[in-house]
Chains A and B, each alone.
Chain A
Amino acid sequence: MTARQRRFASFRLWKCSPEQFLDVAQAASLRPFLIRRATRACFRALDAYAFLQDEQHPLGSLPWMHYINLPMAEYDDLSLPDRLFMKSYPFSRYRLEPVPCAPLSKPLAEARIALVTTAGLHTAEQPAFDHSIKMGDTSFREIPNRVETQSLIESHKSKGFDHSGIQIDRNLVFPLDRFRELVARGEVGELNRRHFSFMGSIIGPRNLIEETAPRVARLLRDDAVDAVFLTPA
């Protein structure tokens, strides 16, 4: 095949379904490094992954953008663009070195626990998370411990996961009722007066690392919290 045909094939990658993607790649007998190069080109063209999750964006509304529901979360279960993104994202840049370690200072039955989630939950009075921030909204919301769990609103709009379970039961991502039961049973000392909620989909986590996560950590320290239970979405 000619260089021109290869370029055409590369250009088509992000416009096709996963099946078509393979057809095109095979028809073009693209070698793995060419597929990788084409993938990188796609993402440069897309500028930021956030676009993929935006319904208003022409690419975000393509039918193959929809997440395929499978029982277990593995890279292979993700939709093609999500998978390409996860494979190419430089996670190792944020590798913890050294890994921090704070021992549990008292028995769990006497400990004060706080919950932290990245499911984008907030109370009805609080502003929703901002999806227009291309690299991700790194802000957080303070969830009062007395809140009625099911009254929390999820403003995490990512198409990267199935939201149906959270709509049915907020405890699926923010198990406040379960922890209340543990306190009642005496297995956990007490719950902190507040918990914290972030939104995931943070592509550029610098502000999270330098600013908002340390701020939440200091607030938890000020509350004399002994242990924190964290959940993704």
Chain B
Amino acid sequence: MCVQAVGLIQAAIEREGINTVSISLLREVTEVIRSPRALFVPYKLGHPLGAPNDPSLQHRIISCALSLLKRTDVPVIEEFTE
């Protein structure tokens, strides 16, 4: 349900003219909701940035997500791979 809420909040922000990107933990939900830009990560619920106390992995995920900001071919859903 968190993934749906993120998509809906993201849409409201994007409608105000602000660029957004989100992390998705359930690809099926994001595909149905059609978030403007989402990075699907292969981690369990509660772990959108991969693992606790792993700044290196967290940075790689953030960097991959931020690279989607410039995309305008919405909806964008990319998969994070190590």
Residues of A within 8 A of B (CB): 67, 69-75, 77, 86, 91-92, 94-97, 99-105, 108, 116, 118-119, 136, 158, 160-166, 168-169, 171-173, 175, 177-179, 181-182, 188, 198, 200-203, 205, 208-209, 213-214, 216-218, 220-221, 225-233
Contact = CB atoms under 8 A, between A and B. Distances in A.
Contacts of B58: 171-172, 175, 178
Contacts of B19: 102-105, 226-228
Given A227-B19, A227-B20, A202 B5 contact: yes
B62 A229 contact: yes
Nearest to B45: A161
A74 B10 CA distance: 22
B56 to A, nearest CB: 10
A205 B4 contact: yes
Interface residues on B, range: 35 or more
Nearest to A228: B20
Contact of B6 (A72, A118, A175): A118
Interface in B7-28: 7-26, 28
B53 interface: yes
Contacts of B35: 96
B1 A163 contact: no
8 contacts: A101-B14, A103-B70, A118-B2, A118-B9, A198-B9, A208-B5, A221-B18, A232-B6
B72 interface: yes
Contacts of A229: 20-22, 62, 65-66
Given A205-B8, A228-B13, 8 more contacts: A73-B44, A100-B36, A100-B74, A116-B10, A169-B53, A172-B49, A200-B2, A213-B8
B9 to A, nearest CB: 4
Contacts of A201: 1-2
B29 A198 contact: no
Interface of B: 1-26, 28-29, 32-36, 42-53, 55, 58-59, 62, 65-66, 69-70, 72, 74-75
A179 B12 CA distance: 23
A231 B8 contact: no
Given A171-B58, A198-B9, A229-B62, A221 B17 contact: yes
3 smallest CB-CB distances across A and B, nearest first, come from A200-B2, A161-B45, A169-B52
A72 B42 contact: yes
A97 B32 CA distance: 11
Contact of A136 (B1, B36, B49, B62): B1
Contacts of A67: 45
A231 B34 CA distance: 15
Contacts of B62: 175, 178-179, 182, 229
Nearest to B65: A229
A193 to B, nearest CB: 15
